A and B are shown apart, each in its own frame.
Chain A
Amino acid sequence: MPEGYLISLIWLSTSFGLLYNQYIMEWPSILKSPLNKTETKTLAKEFFGDMIKVVVDIETGAVAAGCSLHADAEQLLLKHGAQQQSVWGANIFPERKAGQRIEFTSLINIRPKQGNKTQYISSPDIKEKVGSILGNYFDI
């Protein structure tokens, strides 16, 4: 296949992917496949400019992303069968250095009954699970 065609094909598929994510796909959404760097940055720009709010179900590994408020993505996961105690919120900053892109804070994380008194996920075990699941979908 001539190089020109190949480049056009790649450009077309990337453009369609971006258009699909930006204008056709409904957000928040439960992710089905990983987002590449460009898709992640586009999503961040669309909502806040620099960050993506995500909610993770640590039992099933499901991730809901693309919301103005964590509560909206949380509701989506709960509607799909997630248990409240398994659902945790975080933020992704795609422009940060690798290894520093996740921030484990969200108002939905304030759950004194589960021993989490602030917005920050205090349990190292839960943080690790959330980070590991997010690693399946984002370049973190």
Chain B
Amino acid sequence: MKYHKKLERLDVLKHGWARILMMIASELSRSAHLPQKSKEARASYLRAKELLGVLESDPGLPEDKAAKMSAYSRSFTDYYSLDAGKLYGQFMKLSAGV
């Protein structure tokens, strides 16, 4: 993986959806608390996006959840219009509901 250099997709997936959603939330939280244009904030966003990509491409993900992940994935296309704080809350809720 590009932004989790020592991890493979399967290493991530073995942690289960709930934990992966929390990992995404964690990166979003970090991104939200840093100045938006900082390198660190962008790096956190990219890691969150990468994790979401792994989750989205999991063949075991039920259709309804996959559709939800795809919708979230679209909101990750533009870093500068991303509301990381809001998404953090949504991902935490999702992780609790999985």
Contact = CB atoms under 8 A, between A and B. Distances in A.
Interface of A: 27, 46-51, 68-69, 71, 93, 95-96, 103, 105, 107, 119
Secondary structure class of chain A's binding surface, majority of residues: loop
Given A103-B30, A107-B23, A48 B11 contact: no
Given A49-B43, A96-B40, A107-B19, 13 more contacts: A46-B5, A47-B4, A47-B6, A48-B4, A48-B47, A49-B5, A50-B40, A68-B5, A68-B11, A71-B15, A93-B40, A105-B26, A119-B22
Contacts, number: 41
Contacts of B40: 50-51, 93, 95-96
Interface string B14-27: 01000100110010
Interface residues of B, number: 17
Contacts of A105: 26, 29-30
A122 B26 CA distance: 16
A69 B15 contact: yes
A71 B7 CA distance: 13
Contacts of A50: 39-40, 43
Contact of B7 (A49, A51, A68, A107): A68
Secondary structure class of chain B's binding surface, majority of residues: helix
Nearest to B4: A68
A48 B15 contact: no
10 contacts: A47-B4, A49-B3, A49-B43, A68-B7, A68-B11, A69-B11, A95-B40, A96-B40, A103-B30, A119-B22
Contacts of A46: 5-6
A48 B5 CA distance: 6
B26 to A, nearest CB: 6
A131 to B, nearest CB: 18
A49 B30 CA distance: 15
Q: Closest 5 A-B residue pairs measured CB to CB? A: A68-B7, A68-B6, A50-B43, A50-B40, A107-B22
A138 B43 CA distance: 22
Nearest to A103: B30
